[in-house]
Amino acid sequence: MSRIFSGIQPSGELHIGNYLGAVQNWVRLQEGRDATFFCVVDLHALTGNYEPSDLRRRRHEMAVSLLAAGLDPERCTLFFQSGVPQHAELAWIFNTVTPLGELERQTQYKDKSARQESVLTGVLTYPVLQAADILLYHATRVPVGEDQVQHLELSREIARRWNHRFAAETPYFPEPQPLLTPVRRLMGLDGQAKMSKSLGNTIGLLETREQIWEKLRPAMTDPARIRRTDPGNPDVCNIYSLHKAFSDEPTQAIAAANCRGAAWGCIDCKKVLAESMETVLVPIRRRAADIGARPSYVTDVLEEGAKRARTIAQDTMRQVYERMGLTD
Ligand code: ATP
Ligand code: MG
């Protein structure tokens, strides 16, 4: 059976980069509770700096945000990673077939370790746990942003190596492929790096109109537009990439023409964008308020999800142990 799996860290609030690059696709791809698995990967979030009380709150908020964004517990299995201990168990198994050199050349490891004084092993072995997340469910399709494509390549490599060693005749693990959206990599508002929870350059999916405007107003645009009369190039402007994600096609065309012809200043363009974003985000905010008011509903949905996930995960581990000589 072909399955879909993907995850998101509760390392901060769900932002529009996560939404446009991944979560919007999750909502679209829901194919049923036994076919589509989405996970709040709280064990991954331990690899950054965090306070336990913040993590407890963020896990819950991430679950609320995902449900508000449109995940439907009738059409997918949504759960916390730590509720299914087999993720960590399979990660250990995969550690034993993963070459260190492959981990050291991962871009995310290089970026994240460069920002830390003392680098934790978990930052290095993060993609091994990620391979376990996916392969535990034999998932073949993984909707992610572009930054995760390299990690998925490694997941395939790990599957191949494990199969080669322990299931050479009939491969046991499939080789998972990424599924990307048109917005595969949204830049942060400073225009310097990808929008990331850990970099503080985000717009949260649930932020208010006023909060969004405070961030959009100073956001980076085409650097060639120094004066109001300078013509711009929408193709290099992060604000225009947001128009492409949030505005309807006629509005996108007007924004592009008025940028090129300098008929709009960047602030005019941002005001129109803010309106388009409201149209998309108001219903999500409303759902979040409804769901957030029912904390026990959220807990129940995720516990149910973990129960379903555990059944599959236990079966995978039985098969893995059997093939590895860990059973009598
Ligand atoms: P962190 O900074 O803690 O790594 P993050 O913002 O990168 O947080 P993740 O939980 O690592 O978020 O990723 C969740 C999903 O969102 C992944 O599929 C990832 O590829 C996607 N994603 C993250 N940032 C972007 C972005 N700027 N544009 C498109 N997709 C993104
Ligand atoms: Mg990330």
pLDDT digits (tens, 9 = 90+) for 53-75: 999 999 999 999 999 999 999 99
Fold agreement between 4-186+294-324 and 207-288:
no
CA-to-CA distance for 204 and 222, rounded, in angstroms?
23
Question: pLDDT digits over 137-152, tens only?
Answer: 999 999 999 999 999 9
Measure Cα distances from 314 to 80, 186, 221 in Å: 16, 37, 50
Hey, where are the domains in the chain? 4-186+294-324, 207-288
CA-to-CA distance for 300 and 211, rounded, in angstroms?
31
Assess contact for 225 and 239: CB atoms under 8 A: no
Atom of ligand 1 nearest to the CA of 202: 6
Beta bridge partners of 36: 4
Where does 207-288 sit in CATH, by number? 1.10.240.10
Atom of ligand 1 nearest to the CA of 144: 18
Question: In a 10 Å sphere around its CB, with 0-12 CB exposed, 13-18 middle and 19+ buried, how is residue 189 labelled?
Answer: buried
Q: What is the pLDDT along the chain (328 residues), one digit of tens a residue?
A: 789 999 999 999 999 999 999 999 999 999 999 999 999 999 999 998 899 999 999 999 999 999 999 999 999 999 999 999 999 999 999 999 999 999 999 999 999 999 888 899 999 999 999 999 999 999 999 999 999 999 999 999 999 999 999 999 999 999 999 999 999 999 999 988 999 998 889 999 999 999 999 999 999 999 999 999 999 999 999 999 999 999 999 999 999 999 999 999 999 999 999 999 999 999 999 999 999 999 999 999 999 999 999 999 999 999 999 999 999 9
Domain 4-186+294-324: CATH architecture, name and number where available: 3-Layer(aba) Sandwich (3.40)
Mutate which of 25, 71, 196, 205 for ligand 1 pocket (most atoms within 8 A of beta carbon): 196
What SS3 class is residue 117?
Answer: coil
Measure Cα distances from 188 to 10, 44, 80, 99, 114 in Å: 18, 22, 27, 33, 19
Instruction: Quote the pTM value.
Output: 0.97
d(CA 112, ligand 2 centre) in Å = 9
CA-to-CA distance for 24 and 15, rounded, in angstroms?
12
pLDDT at 199: 87
Nearby residues of 319 by Cβ (< 8 Å), 6 or more positions away: 172
